[in-house]
Amino acid sequence: MSLQLTADTKSIAFGRNWVASVAIDSGAPTDRVSVIKLLSGELITNAILHGPPGGAVTVRTFRVEKNLRVEVDDAGTEVPHLREPELTASGGRGLLLIDTFTARWGCTMRGAGGKTVWFDLFLG
């Protein structure tokens, strides 16, 4: 399933709640839903912050074997990378959380068309 959003911070809550709803419909255990919401919110936030202002953000969610995959497309061309933010920094922990809690994650560059950042979360 997919959802089209506009790159605006007002879209973050709607997007992460949509992912959680799809995850529940896909059989995700209820104890994983808060993690799914947190991590999908991080991907959506990154797409909004690092893609073009007002641009399109596409969110896809589906099962891959025993994992839930969440993919987020944006038109940005910057490759995401893990950072170790200062303890007092107000941001910069999104990919660190994704790296910690998921089975795997990655980024597929689409040339001038932007990128897709994704994660697989084990559901059991």
Considering only CA atoms, which of 62, 68, 71, 76 is closest in space to residue 109? 76
In sequence order, which residues have a C-beta less than 8 Å from that of residue 80 and are 6 or more positions away?
Answer: 46, 50, 95, 107, 115, 117
What does the chain come to in residues? 124
Average pLDDT, the chain: 91
* Domains in the chain: boundaries: 2-122
Tens of pLDDT along 59-113? 999 998 899 999 999 998 888 877 776 776 666 678 889 999 999 999 999 877 8
pTM (predicted TM-score): 0.91
Q: What is the architecture, at CATH level 2, of domain 2-122?
A: 2-Layer Sandwich (3.30)
